[in-house]
Structure 1
Amino acid sequence: MLTTTFWAFLRHEMRESRRYSNAIVYMTFSDLRARYRRSVLGPFWLTIGTTIGALALSFIWSELMHKKLAEFIPTLTAGLILWQFISGVLGEAPSLFIRQAPLIRNLNLPLTIYPLQLLLRHLLNLLHYAPVYILIALWVSQPVNLNTLLIIPGLLLVTLNLLWLALLIGLLGARFRDLEYLFATAMPLLMLLSPVFYKPDFLPFSEMYIWLNPISHLIEVIRSPLLGHPIPIFVVITNLGLLLFGSVTTLLVFRRMRHRIAFWV
């Protein structure tokens, strides 16, 4: 009986999200226009900033890691782009519902549209980062092979994992306001503890500990095929496990807390 009720609730939420898909797209583009109003280049500042950051950091970190620049720069660029995508979603997730308080209080919209809107906006930002990697890959003659096609399922896995993370963190952030400040403090430290500027096998003495960080698996499931390498099986299994366990847990928490969000924000 409980399982039947759970799946019925899941189908209802998915149906409601599809029903408001046009509203999600409209809200996303409205948010982007508001953020870059009166800007000449708009979101292309993301492309420029990422290009400068990738080139500058590659010169430093290639020396620290004792790697050739042509070998190292695609690794760092891919890691930096993926970190900006992942950290962008996670960094905004604690205030997800708080910032939408006027809409939540006055309109009867499904709460699931807000994490979808957040994720769509950062996926659009990711499209502005992509040319940076493409240009650098062409510059260093990065090989393209069949493994490169694995980028698509890898990105899908990361996107779905970020979706349940955004919803769960948003729910908890609406109830516990300190979570926003905790994430703001933790994200810079987490960047240093994650393989953003290097691959885990660049540090063989600490590789085992790096894989204890779930962010490592989210990065490598996309970066490995970007570099023309197959995705390690344990990385795929970890991402699937996170997706299954996290989605079920988040839906249970959401089902319990969703009617209280309007009072908390």
Structure 2
Amino acid sequence: MSRSLIGDYIDSFRNPGFWTYSTWLELVTKYRRSRLGLFWALCPAVIYMFGVGGFFGHLQGHEPGMFIPHLGIGYVVFRLITISLSECTTTLPGHSSFILDGRVRLTDYILRVVAKAMFYFVMALPAIVVALIISSTFRWEGLIIAIPCFFLVLLNIGWMGAIVAVLGARLQDVHELIGSILMFAFLFTPIIWFGSQAPLGTVRGTIARINPLYHMVESVRAPLLGEPIANSTFLYLTLMLLGGWLIASIVYRRYARFVPVWI
């Protein structure tokens, strides 16, 4: 029996008990025995923003008030995307007992991964707030654009996660492949460098702008830091959204029913 990706996502949001509770339970059991607890969820963002950000900012001659917020926002958005996509490749085999027991609404397991990634994103927000306080370019009105763009990023994660989850159930190598692609994509995403350093019209600028993560990060960060968003970024994200959901729906309808056999 073929399944609808959008229909399954709607059902998962209507019945969130499984994926929300299991995510909460995993996080509680992970941190409850630690003396510092949830601090460990905040620690990587703090170290990366103010440690790596301060070091690379000084190395490249940028002011901390400009570079740290740039790197910090880019890092947390990039981490949200990479955690979601990387862990989606193994989430279906990892929940094989539930799937074989009859819980075949695969979007529950995808949302479980995204929910955990969102938890780490939320835990990094205090560090982001501090970075924005010291920012010399922060604009409150940028939230009007940044928040809708963030939801656009989440919608794109939704179809990407569905595709890599189904492929990961069939081929174990997909996890390593996605990990390598994301590691490579980091170099072409403006996190430890500014987009102006790879201007449009140059070879490196063209390569960087082919990278979807470039536009996903820029759409959220640029308005917060008083920078304009290129029209090409809106066009790119819209085409990704429409084309991606179309392809993901076809893949899911065609292959989701084979997942219990593959795992």
Q: TM-score, normalised by structure 2?
A: 0.90
CA distance in 1, matches of 2:122, 2:67: 22
Paired position in structure 2 for 1:217: 215
Paired position in structure 2 for 1:260: 258
CA distance in 2, matches of 1:10, 1:182: 24
Instruction: Give yes or no for the alignment of 1:13 onto 2:8.
Output: yes
Paired position in structure 2 for 1:3: none
CA distance in 2, matches of 1:50, 1:10: 33
In the alignment, is the contact (CA less than 8 A) between 1:77 and 1:133 conserved in 2? yes
Paired position in structure 2 for 1:105: 100
Aligned residues: 259
Among 168, 171, 175, which residue is 1:173 paired with? Answer: 168
Query: How far is the alpha carbon of 1:232 from its aligned partner?
Result: 2.2
In the alignment, structure 1 segments of 5+ residues that lack a partner are 1-5
Query: How far is the alpha carbon of 1:156 from its aligned partner?
Result: 0.3
In the alignment, structure 2 segments of 5+ residues that lack a partner are none
Paired position in structure 2 for 1:233: 231
Instruction: Give yes or no for the alignment of 1:187 onto 2:185.
Output: no
Q: Which amino acid aligns with 2:165?
A: G
Query: How far is the alpha carbon of 1:23 from its aligned partner?
Result: 2.1
Query: How far is the alpha carbon of 1:151 from its aligned partner?
Result: 1.5
Paired position in structure 1 for 2:67: 72
Paired position in structure 2 for 1:119: 114
The CA RMSD over aligned residues, in Å, is 2.1
Instruction: Give yes or no for the alignment of 1:243 onto 2:238.
Output: no
CA distance in 2, matches of 1:247, 1:238: 14
Q: TM-score, normalised by structure 1?
A: 0.89
Query: How far is the alpha carbon of 1:190 from its aligned partner?
Result: 2.3
In the alignment, is the contact (CA less than 8 A) between 1:65 and 1:202 conserved in 2? no
Query: How far is the alpha carbon of 1:141 from its aligned partner?
Result: 4.7
Query: How far is the alpha carbon of 1:168 from its aligned partner?
Result: 0.4
Deviations 1:53-97 (A, max 9, x none): 211222332244332222211111111111211111111121121
Runs of 4+ aligned residues of structure 1 deviating over 6 Å after TM superposition are none
In the alignment, is the contact (CA less than 8 A) between 1:94 and 1:174 conserved in 2? yes
CA spacing shift, 1:74–1:10, aligned 2, 3 Å: closer
After superposition, residues 37-116 of structure 1 pair within 5 angstroms as: 37-116=32-111
CA spacing shift, 1:29–1:217, aligned 2, 3 Å: same
CA distance in 2, matches of 1:15, 1:60: 45
